[in-house]
Structure 1
Amino acid sequence: MLVNRILTFFLLLSLGKCDNIVQIDCNTLRLGQYMCPDPNYDLVDPKTQQIRGCGKDNRAKVQCIAIEEINCTESNNSTFFKEMPCKWTNGYHLDTALLLSIFLGMFGLDRFYLGYPAIGLAKLCTLGFMFLGQLIDIILISTQVVGPADGSAYITPYYGPTVEVIRFDNSTFRLKQDDW
């Protein structure tokens, strides 16, 4: 119903037969009917390098603008707030964890820093599992497979190197393809 109304409006607008402005719920707009500005220095928190207001649910509200012909029912103008994905951080820096792993990983300081005291103590007592554990931790931390124990993300520059870890478990599976 709503989609038909919007399509009808744009059809009439393109024919030049409609000059009024449509009021709709802007949370139902599709991509291309609104624009969220690219985060600039005002929207990015300098401490966490994420969008301001990023919570543990990895979502933050950002002010977006609908196209000129659409007014939002919630604000009576073309601006509205939309939830955008972000990465919640809790103060752990990737570069600090990596440097600790490279230079002091044999003593387990990288694992103590990230909140894994049991593994850190085991590395301390065994000299980094005879340096093999230190080498493995350098690889795991640099590829961001091992992160902080509280489940937060590392602090990296907003446009810096980040990794999306894709996990495979019983809830995900591959569909059989025709060419297999």
Structure 2
Amino acid sequence: MIGKHIGPFLLQGEDPLMIDAEHCATVRTENTLMHAMLLLSSVGFTSVPVLDESSHLAGVIGMPAIFKGILGDDDYHWDQLDHRKVKDVMERNVFVVYDDSPLEDILHLLVNANYLCVTDRDGLFLGIIARKQLLKRFNRFAHEFENHFKVTPRESKPVSAPQDLQATKNNH
């Protein structure tokens, strides 16, 4: 469980935790693979959310999926970039959170993802939460938390020093 003072502190920030849908690079299910490839190349992201015609989250697409989608038996079929649709090759199994998901769930999922898609309960795409946004907040936490809260150690087992942790790792 995240501490009662730590959670709210992490949620504070000058910029919002969630990047709103209108500020996210996205593609549509009916876009061509060429369109998706050009977008990914221009924004420099590894993947982007894919939305259907009603702005509901349908999946994500990245360059590996695009290349796999035009790969033949022994060569790439580059002409297919203009004909195949994003919906044919996108990843449908994606990390999704809701706009009211607990911070603990978000942190757990961001361990294995660069970003999380945020939807409402009906699947309408609301935006993304990027790992970068949370890392900025943890950086602020590490530097400022004790300026706002008095922190005193409890009478318990002492926290190991980094050199002790390293020695433990090497002995096992």
TM-score bracket for the superposition, by shorter chain length: under 0.3
Quick check: which has more Rg, 1 or 2?
Answer: 1
Normalised by the size of structure 1, how large is the TM-score? 0.20
Normalised by the size of structure 2, how large is the TM-score? 0.21
